[in-house]
Structure 1
Amino acid sequence: MDNALDRAVENAMRESARAAIMPRFTAGKPIAADWKAAGEAVTAADRESEAILTERLSGLIPGAHVVGEEASHHDPALLGRLGEGVCWIVDPLDGTANFAAGEGPFGILVALAEEGIPVGGWILDPLTGRFCSARIGAGATIDGAPVRAGAQARTIPHIAVTRLFADPTRREALFATLSGTCDVHDSPRCAADQYPRIALGENDATLFTRTIAWDHAAGVIFLNEAGGRAARPDGSSYRCDDAQGGLIAAACPQRWNEVATLLTDAGVVLAGAAIAD
């Protein structure tokens, strides 16, 4: 991958934001949304954004698949391509529920995977224009400037976590485990917001329950290339074609180890989200 590819992906994402997303957004003004499942909204902006991105990305790498969130909803067989060859993975509007409510955060996520392993990740915040980019072995940037994650000098670490668990008992156990040693914040259901927050030191870690590829592939490589760590609770690497739940994203390996040990010692299992992060 080269800088020309980075620019092409960025241009496609900015076009999607400019043409499909921002014309439909007014702060404080909700818009109509359909519901694919409980708590999973979809709007005209999602659909138009994915159409733009699919068209633009399809021509960048010969033979590469494109797997988008909305297309996969209508044709689940597309999920089988997440681990096959070269694959673009598209979340055309992450944080749709926030967007539909006239609120932030929301964003666009694009990842590139080879045989199921993320090798490139791009994250755009349409509200601010902030653009995050990472390629395997090449580091991570925000708006073109190198970014380096690291633990902050806080007495109590800031941890973000979704409150949406299928099992109330597990949810209560998680919050009870964290509240004694961490400052726990509610994750706003937008992975496109959470990964940059960690890299910029605003959060020390975020815990994710459901980890489908379009929500996480871009963020995982971005954070790992920035010097943080995103991995399964057992320490294994994230794969785009692995449907298991549970992911710890942290500002540095040491912080990751601290959080993982805390959860393991308490017997807390992250998998089991009723609704997407």
Structure 2
Amino acid sequence: MTIGLTGPVSAILQQASNRAIMPRYQSLSADQIDAKAADDVVTIADKEAELILAEGLASLLPEAAIVGEEAAHADPALLNRLGDALCWIIDPIDGTNNYAAGKPPFGVMVALSQAGETVAGWIYDPLSGRLAHAHHGAGAFIGEDRITAQTTGAQPPIAAISLVFMDPAKRQAMKDHIAPHYTLTDIPRCAAEQYPRLVLGVNDCSIFERTLAWDHAAGVLFVNEAGGMAARPDGRAYRVDEAHLPGLIGAASPQLWEELAFRLAAV
């Protein structure tokens, strides 16, 4: 059972944080930050942390493929490994723009998939030490404590809607037809924080346009195993080997998910 991997994986996450991430936090020089795409950066800490994570995870399951965000950026052919029998998926620093600016939130995300289905995920917050993790069929946890998703209880529900990667027409449709039914809150620009907020009673629902495996594999499993719901807008399960497809809804309860999916289908 993957829950037995949590101790070793946690140690590897902490090692990456202690050696590569936290020593450089709020002390990066300009030459240690590179533009990777429009409104997206990578730092020396991302690259060093990914190497530490990849080496450590490979020692746990040598038979598993490894797909890291930075390695896949350098060699997109690695994305073909996401459907392998076993695959480690690594986001060395999620929320890199925040990290590079010297502010929270940011986190480290690791998932293990089996033939395209996420079977375990770990989300580590280096600043607080919080480890959120989930295991297919075995529940969701913060540290050693099993957790159940909580709604905020607010009316209207609180929504964090990511408009960043939507085209202008879709962005406007969201503002016109979805936003009026919710109390909107700022997105943290960090899936490692956004998914836990759906479970911890901070936010009720979220819409994501871009669904890259390293951003969403661990978080989707965490929400679902906690009793919330995260799925494609048509209700299909999220698969890491379909991470090129747009659109994903996360919610603190199945009812909240269904209400948002119904509204989204009418847009």
Fold-level similarity (TM above 0.5): yes
- Counterpart for residue 63 of structure 1: 63
Name stretches of at least 5 consecutive residues in structure 1 with no aligned partner: 268-277
Letter in 2 for 1:214: W
Deviations 1:46-78 (A, max 9, x none): 000000000000011131111100000111110
Percent identical = 50
- Counterpart for residue 49 of structure 1: 49
- Counterpart for residue 252 of structure 1: 253
Q: Secondary structure at the match of 1:256?
A: helix
Cα distance in 1 for partners of 2:166, 2:252 equals 27
- Counterpart for residue 275 of structure 1: none
- Counterpart for residue 129 of structure 1: 129
Structure with greater helix percent: 2
Q: TM-score normalised to the size of structure 1?
A: 0.92
Name stretches of at least 5 consecutive residues in structure 2 with no aligned partner: none
- Counterpart for residue 144 of structure 2: 144
- Counterpart for residue 160 of structure 1: 160
Cα distance in 1 for partners of 2:2, 2:229 equals 24
Q: Secondary structure at the match of 1:128?
A: coil
CA displacement at 1:169 relative to structure 2: 2.1
Count matched residues: 264
Deviates most, 251-260 or 152-161: 152-161
- Counterpart for residue 215 of structure 2: 215
Answering whether residue 90 of structure 2 is matched by residue 119 of structure 1, we say no
- Counterpart for residue 95 of structure 2: 95
- Counterpart for residue 14 of structure 1: 14
Cα distance in 2 for partners of 1:2, 1:34 equals 36
Q: Secondary structure at the match of 2:240?
A: coil
CA distance 1:181–1:81, change in 2 (3 Å): same
CA displacement at 1:205 relative to structure 2: 0.6
CA displacement at 1:245 relative to structure 2: 0.7
Q: TM-score normalised to the size of structure 2?
A: 0.96
Letter in 2 for 1:219: G
| Poorly superposed stretches of 4+, deviation over 4 Å | none
Cα distance in 1 for partners of 2:178, 2:28 equals 34
CA displacement at 1:162 relative to structure 2: 1.7
Letter in 1 for 2:213: A
CA distance 1:232–1:247, change in 2 (3 Å): same
**CA RMSD between the two structures:** 1.3
- Counterpart for residue 229 of structure 2: 229
Contact 1:163 1:186 in 2 (8 A): no
Q: Secondary structure at the match of 2:132?
A: strand
- Counterpart for residue 77 of structure 1: 77
Letter in 1 for 2:252: A
CA distance 1:163–1:2, change in 2 (3 Å): closer
Contact 1:31 1:100 in 2 (8 A): no
Letter in 2 for 1:147: I
Contact 2:151 2:199 in 1 (8 A): no
